[in-house]
């Protein structure tokens, strides 16, 4: 049973669209009954057809899951053989995915403003989190970082600007873009943009996903201001359902959690962050 209450199960999916959306990044929109069972921040384990030598499924977050239409959007970086073959899947092709996997984002207990921080391919679960907050009327600002302009998913960023904002609502939002090389938005890391926002605004909750050093920085900044912070962690995964113990997350109390079943979303204060 997953944290969303739905039983983790095998589902068929059919590719509707599979296209490049930024340098090195692809978006697959597929149709699956699983879309109705996913909570923001959970993940799926995708099986890519074609090569029997690749038996492991690919763990992937999702950006959007529409319960009514059954549409599920995943955004993925092509980094190795599995994701390369995923990018080659054609419209109409079918395969399977396991889900819902893991624990998603928790809604803030304090309904004060939230700050969302995404780095690189950490954008999908942050986009799903933004949708969740917009639907529940929680105000939020967003920082989205990438190495360079061509690696920003412009379509999703535009949606983040307008999501849940309608005439007459008091929900003005800051969406701050950063690039490491200064080719779009602020030059620098997302943590620098986050520091600027923290100096000007009060936040009740921070949500973050991105490379581990980025999340360690976001966690440190949040804790220094005593702001609750949730992070969505990535670990190498084998089984994806708690059987192989290869996705350990070290905790401050000296114990280990499993990223696949205890996470991937963790309270940042529980995580033993590596400082090196
Ligand atoms: C819970 C979870 C959610 C994820 N969500 C997304 C997502 O939304 N979009 C996305 O692009 N990627 C996501 N990932 C990472 C994705 O699973 C890996 O990039 C993918 O498995 C690589 O497969 P491959 O066969 O193409 O590459 P491989 O040949 O297996 O590896 C290529 C490179 O990617 C690294 N890598 C492989 N698996 C992982 C992993 N699990 N975590 C981090 N690095 C890895 C390897 O160390 C290697 O450097 C997620 C991972 C987890 C655990
Ligand atoms: S991936 Fe097997 S226990 Fe987490």
The domain that contains 182 carries what CATH number?
3.40.50.80
Asked, for residue 108, whether it belongs to a domain, the answer is: no
Instruction: Give the global pTM.
Output: 0.94
What range defines the domain where residue 15 resides?
9-101
Q: The domain spanning residue 77 has which CATH number?
A: 2.40.30.10
Do 156 and 259 fall within a single domain?
no
φ, ψ at 3 (rounded to 5°): -65, -20
Do 249 and 157 fall within a single domain?
no
Nearest alpha carbon to residue 97 among 149, 153, 142, 34: 34
Under the banding of pLDDT at 50, 70 and 90, the label for residue 1 is very low
| Burial of 99 per CB tally in 10 Å (0-12, 13-18, 19+) | buried
Looking from the CA of residue 240, the nearest atom of ligand 2 is: 1
Rounded distance between C-alpha atoms, residue 3 and residue 260, angstroms: 11
Asked, for residue 107, whether it belongs to a domain, the answer is: no
What average pLDDT does the chain have? Answer: 91
Q: The domain spanning residue 272 has which CATH number?
A: 2.10.240.10
Do 97 and 173 fall within a single domain?
no
The share of the chain scoring above pLDDT 90, in percent, equals 80
Q: 64 C-alpha vs ligand 1 centroid, how far in Å?
A: 19
3 pLDDT more than 90: no
Closest residue by CA, ligand 2 atom 3 = 242
Number of domains the chain contains? 3
Asked, for residue 1, whether it belongs to a domain, the answer is: no
What's the token pair of residue 97? Answer: 């995915």
Do 91 and 124 fall within a single domain?
no
Out of 6-15, 203-212, 259-268, pick the least confident: 6-15
Residue carrying the six token digits 């009327």: 137
Out of 54-68, 154-168, 181-195, pick the least confident: 154-168
Looking from the CA of residue 245, the nearest atom of ligand 2 is: 3
Question: How much is the CA Rg of the chain, to the nearest whole Å?
Answer: 18
Say what the pLDDT of residue 172 is: 75
Do 144 and 206 fall within a single domain?
yes
Rounded distance between C-alpha atoms, residue 97 and residue 87, angstroms: 15
Q: Is the CB of 62 under 6 A from ligand 1?
A: no
Say what the pLDDT of residue 17 is: 97
- Site to probe by mutation for ligand 1, drawn from 45, 58, 84 as the one with most ligand atoms within 8 Å of Cβ, is 58
pLDDT tens across 163-208, in order? 877 665 656 789 999 999 999 999 999 999 999 999 999 999 999 9
Q: 164 C-alpha vs ligand 1 centroid, how far in Å?
A: 31
Mean pLDDT of 205-213: 96
Asked, for residue 201, whether it belongs to a domain, the answer is: yes
- Sequence-ordered list of residues with C-beta below 8 angstroms from that of 129, at least 6 positions apart, any chain: 40, 41, 105, 116, 207
Nearest alpha carbon to residue 206 among 106, 134, 131: 106
Nearest alpha carbon to residue 176 among 135, 140, 207, 124: 140
Say what the pLDDT of residue 2 is: 47
The share of the chain scoring above pLDDT 70, in percent, equals 93
Closest residue by CA, ligand 1 atom 13 = 60
Q: 161 C-alpha vs ligand 2 centroid, how far in Å?
A: 36
Asked, for residue 243, whether it belongs to a domain, the answer is: yes
Under the banding of pLDDT at 50, 70 and 90, the label for residue 51 is low
Say what the pLDDT of residue 164 is: 73
């Amino acid at each position: 049973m997953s944290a969303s209450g739905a039983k983790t199960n095998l589902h068929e999916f059919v590719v509707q669209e599979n296209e490049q959306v930024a340098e090195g990044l692809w978006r697959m929109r597929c149709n699956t009954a699983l879309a109705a069972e996913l909570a923001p921040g959970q993940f799926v384990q995708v099986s890519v057809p074609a090569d029997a030598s690749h038996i492991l499924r690919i763990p992937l977050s999702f950006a959007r899951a529409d319960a009514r239409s059954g549409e599920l959007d995943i955004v993925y970086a092509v980094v190795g053989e599995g994701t390369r073959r995923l990018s080659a899947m054609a419209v109409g092709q079918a395969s399977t995915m396991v889900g819902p996997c893991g624990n998603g984002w928790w809604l803030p207990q304090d309904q004060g403003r939230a700050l969302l921080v995404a780095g690189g391919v950490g954008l999908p679960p942050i986009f799903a989190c933004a949708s969740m907050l917009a639907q529940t009327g929680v105000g939020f600002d967003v920082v989205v970082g990438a190495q360079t302009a061509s690696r920003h998913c412009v379509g999703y960023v535009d949606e983040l600007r307008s999501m849940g904002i309608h005439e007459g609502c008091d929900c003005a939002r800051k969406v701050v873009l950063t690039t490491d090389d200064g080719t779009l938005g602020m030059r620098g890391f997302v943590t620098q943009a986050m520091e600027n926002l923290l100096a000007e605004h009060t936040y009740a909750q921070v949500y973050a996903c991105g490379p581990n050093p980025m999340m360690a920085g976001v966690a440190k900044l949040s804790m220094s201001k005593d702001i609750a912070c949730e992070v969505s962690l990535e670990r190498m995964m084998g089984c994806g359902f708690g059987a192989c113990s290869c996705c350990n997350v070290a905790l401050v109390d000296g114990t280990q959690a499993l990223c696949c079943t205890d996470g991937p979303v963790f309270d940042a204060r529980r995580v033993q962050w590596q400082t090196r």
